[in-house]
Amino acid sequence: MGTSEFVYGDGRWGGDADVVPSLRIEVQDGDIATVEYRPAPDGLGRFYLGFQPRDFFDDPAESEPVDLAAEAEAFAEWALLVGAVDVEAKHVRRLLAEEHVDEPEDTFVEETVERLVRLVGLPIPDGLEGGDDLV
């Protein structure tokens, strides 16, 4: 599967990741998606979908701990900033990768990425494929 990267900036997918606001989603092998968004409060701006790298690779050095509640709240605020829908932090929170998860809810992390993108009202980027049964 490899790694795919999707960047939302300048109000569109394929835009400039250096503008603010922006969103970068890196999908790795169908198991981990790293979501980075700007602007974000100090110490926030990155979370994971599927597995957290520290758990997937069974190595705490692979990723910093994530404050899931704070990231969900900050990402909901980010969605408002980009003019997307008004989303409640609790709905974002349900999609974030938990610590020490055995199996995520979705078989392929691309499915979770699509659910997150839809949740905040952005169009699905070209090339995001998570299997045959995307909802």
pLDDT in tens, 111-132: 999 999 999 999 999 998 654 3
Instruction: Count how many domains the chain has.
Output: 1
The answer to whether residue 52 sits within a structural domain is: yes
Beta carbons within 8 Å of 29's beta carbon, 6+ residues apart: 1, 2, 3
Other CB atoms within a 10 A radius of the CB of residue 115 amount to: 18
Looking at residue 61, its pLDDT comes to: 96
Of the pLDDT bands very low, low, confident and very high (cuts 50, 70, 90), residue 134 is very low
Q: Is residue 18 a part of any domain in this protein?
A: yes
> pLDDT band for position 1 (50/70/90)?
low
125 within domain boundaries: no
d(CA 19, CA 26): 17
Q: What is the DSSP string of 86-108?
A: ---HHHHHTTBPPTT-SS-SSSS
In this predicted structure, what is the pLDDT of residue 133?
38
Q: Is residue 124 part of a domain?
A: no
What is the mean predicted confidence (pLDDT) over 40-50? Answer: 96
pLDDT digits (tens, 9 = 90+) for 72-93: 999 999 999 887 678 999 999 9
Regarding pTM above 0.85, the answer is: yes
Domain that holds residue 62: 3-119
Could you tell me where the DSSP H helices lie in the chain?
A: 53-56, 68-81, 89-93, 109-119
Question: What is the rounded distance in angstroms from the CA atom of residue 29 to the CA atom of residue 84?
Answer: 28
